[in-house]
Amino acid sequence: MTPLQQRLAGHLQLLYPQSDVMELADQCLAQFGLGADASAPVPHRNLWDERDVMLISYGDSLRSEHEAPLQSLTRFVRTQLHGCISTVHLLPFFPYSSDDGFSVMDYTTVNPSLGSWEQISGLSQDVKIMGDLVINHCSSRSLWFENYKAGIEPGASYFVEAEPDTDLSAVVRPRTSPLLRAVKTAAGERHLWCTFSHDQLDLNFQNPRVLLEFLKIIRLYLDNGIRWFRLDAVAFLWKTPGTPCVNLPETHELIRLLRLLIEHLAPDAVIITETNIPNQENLTYFGNANEAHLIYNFSLPPLLINTLLTGSCTHLKNWLMTMPPAQHGTTYLNFIASHDGIGLRPAEGLLSDWELQSLIATLQRFGGRISARTTASGESKPYEINISLWDALRGTSSQGPDPWQFARFVCAAAIMAALEGIPAYYIHSLVATGNDNERVENTGSYRAINRHIWQQDALQQALIGDTHHARVFDAMRALLRLRRQQPAFHPNATQYTLHTGEALFAFWRQSIDRRQSLFAVYNISDQPQSFNLSELNLIATDDWVDLISGEAHNDRMAQITLMPYQYLWLSNRRS
């Protein structure tokens, strides 16, 4: 037995103790096209550096009458974002029935309205691609589900059944719809588990045949140039009635198994877990550097937006000081906005109930919508705020809309650019797209408010005209190019939070080779703020320059005044 077979059998024994684990291990290797004697990757190896910046986009966020949307996106990346990003998170690009791609009908086919596998492979020649492995559920219009109803494989044993009188009160729900869906089958009525919606039927990973199906799917993605895998909604993967059915030990075990196989076949591959849950639970998905390479910093969006709306960085600073430095070979994925809303569960225990209600009320004033979930007691509770980032930062909680929207917006992007981890920018944040209320009305989905589809010609005109879109886009590109030149912004570079008061948010980064020190200081309020350089304890023998303005700061006792939402990146080396 090879070391790989031995490790694989160990994971399978914990997941499928009733199976012949050696035979199942051989099936996994064969399905994945992996030899049993494959070499193990080097542990604790960083597969990223300061040049890594991610773009988040749907395949059709840009549309043109003359070409497939994936071609339009590829051209935008090549011509408009050259030197700004390294990776594209290409949101689900499969045939789907709902949820803008996250209700997958066929995992093996590119939606023909978007393009083809050839175009995805072509994009992978320019940037790394992160693809969604929608692993918890599939569409009710999938072949698997049609086969389930007919009682034939593949599909007959692929879904989670439960009796309607089963006590499922402990199950954690991210939605308000009933958990079980009644389905008529050839064998009579059955009730299927639906964590998210009745069009999204949960897959039964207690059946090893489902695991083997997904190994084949992962291999297909690898063959077509995808190297980063986002495990969508993975925290809900394993179901055991009588438990919360979230973050179960078997879920972690399955992630370790997938990591083992993927990194043996493709040592440059990366796994990201999408676990929109409270902060301490989220951190467990690093495992012992043997589960996710990256985890989403889900607490960052509500805390950072709250900071800029209130003018107080207290909660953001306190949270940052509790976050453990990621081991080498792991790091955080930072984001403020994405295709989903601003999650509120990751702010639980970090913001008080009153502060959460104030945040919700402020963003509702700015056009936001509120999505709810059902708690174990049956109570409806806010789950996420649906709003574009541009509109979310149009003012403050106390004063409402104000003239500082542009400065506040860029300040938010600059904070994320400098934090430990890899920053990920939603395409609609790069171009400051506002709330798409018309799309909400047309789709009936609150999340559509931040899923605008740009006609390519219209966006091109917006980015060259005298518009806020052009101002933001130019500022964002300059910011990202500058960020990618700083070794102190390596995702695993040292970070220390500084104590500079409530209205100034500051932290120190030092490159892994210790050659660059960089102090990032931000005025997160709508009033000018001053501080003395002596507070930063600058090394007297070094020359210091603000990378943003190019201004030298060699008077260690000088007082600096930052205008509302102004910031500086004070470095001891020029880029």
Residue numbering of the annotated binding site for substrate: 99, 137, 230-232, 339-340, 447
Tokens matching residue 20: 């012949």
DSSP E strands, 2-67: 54-57, 62-63
> Tokens 């930072």 sit at which residue?
334
Q: In this structure, are residues 391 and 434 in contact, taking their beta carbons and an 8 Å threshold?
A: yes
Q: In this structure, are residues 412 and 304 in contact, taking their beta carbons and an 8 Å threshold?
A: yes
26 has catalytic annotation: no
Classify residue 574 by burial, with Cβ atoms within 10 Å: 0-12, 13-18, 19+.
Answer: exposed
- Closest of 272, 93, 101 to residue 200, by C-alpha: 101
Q: Is the dihedral of CA 521, 522, 525, 528 positive or negative?
A: positive
DSSP states of 211-280 as a string? Answer: HHHHHHHHHHHHHTTEEEEEETTGGG----TTS--SS-HHHHHHHHHHHHHHHHH-TT-EEEE---S-HH
Rounded to whole angstroms, how far apart are CA atoms 327 and 573? 26
CA–CA distance from 318 to each of 457, 490, 505, 530 (Å)?
45, 22, 11, 22
Give 465's contacts (C-beta < 8 A, 6+ positions apart): none
Which alpha helices (H) appear in 58-125, and where do they start and end? 69-80, 117-123
Rounded to whole angstroms, how far apart are CA atoms 105 and 418? 39
First-to-last alpha carbon distance for the chain, in angstroms, is 52
Rounded to whole angstroms, how far apart are CA atoms 479 and 230? 26
Binding-site entries: 99, 137, 230-232, 339-340, 447
CA–CA distance from 393 to each of 306, 316, 337, 351, 401 (Å)?
10, 16, 12, 19, 9
Q: In this structure, are residues 76 and 58 in contact, taking their beta carbons and an 8 Å threshold?
A: no
Q: Are strands 294-296 and 270-273 parallel, antiparallel or unpaired?
A: parallel
CA–CA distance from 10 to each of 256, 290, 502 (Å)?
11, 14, 50
Rounded to whole angstroms, how far apart are CA atoms 511 and 517? 7
Task: Count CB atoms within 10 A of the CB of residue 249.
Answer: 12
Q: Is the dihedral of CA 259, 260, 262, 264 positive or negative?
A: positive
Rounded to whole angstroms, how far apart are CA atoms 551 and 554? 10
Tokens matching residue 422: 């890899």
Q: In this structure, are residues 523 and 563 in contact, taking their beta carbons and an 8 Å threshold?
A: yes
Rounded to whole angstroms, how far apart are CA atoms 525 and 269? 41
Q: What order do you get walking across the sheet with 369-374 strand by strand?
A: 342-343, 380-386, 369-374
Q: Which of 52, 232, 436, 526 is the catalytic position?
A: 232
Q: Which residues are catalytic?
A: 232
